[in-house]
Amino acid sequence: MRALIRALTPLGWLVLVGALVLLLAVAGRGLGLTWDPFNLQQRRLAVADVRATYAESDAEARRLEAAGQGQQAARVEIHHRRTLAVERATVAAVTQARSAEDANDPLDLVRADRLRAHDRELCRLAPDLDGCAAASGSS
């Protein structure tokens, strides 16, 4: 053993120490030991946690945005249907009023009744309009 120690050159000693350190590191890893002097593992974990939190909040925002767009599309569809119904009712009333025998006569009770019926139809289709019973608060 003494002869071996004397026979090693400085380069040999360096290789022997390096091999010993490598052997200890491999054995330590095998036993589950870690050495992280700069706390890099904890920093990586914190960054990953922040990214995961951001991704979750971004996904939630996108889900809420999609739900809002769906609700908006439903409201637009309701408005569109209501507009078409109002247009149909108005065209029917105008056509009936123009083709009536008394179209050019002064307003009488029959014509007033037709206008009231049209007004009631408009209020039924859009009760929140000004002048409708629901908008004024009375029934």
Handedness of CA 102, 104, 109, 110 (dihedral sign): positive
d(CA 16, CA 32): 24
- Separation between Cα atoms, residue 86 and residue 74, nearest integer Å: 18
CB neighbour list of residue 56: distance below 8 Å, 6 or more residues apart? none
Neighbours of 9 (CB within 10 A): 8
Who has greater pLDDT, 43 or 1? Answer: 43
pLDDT in tens, 78-115: 999 988 998 898 888 888 888 888 777 777 788 789 88
Q: Which pLDDT value is given to residue 118?
A: 86
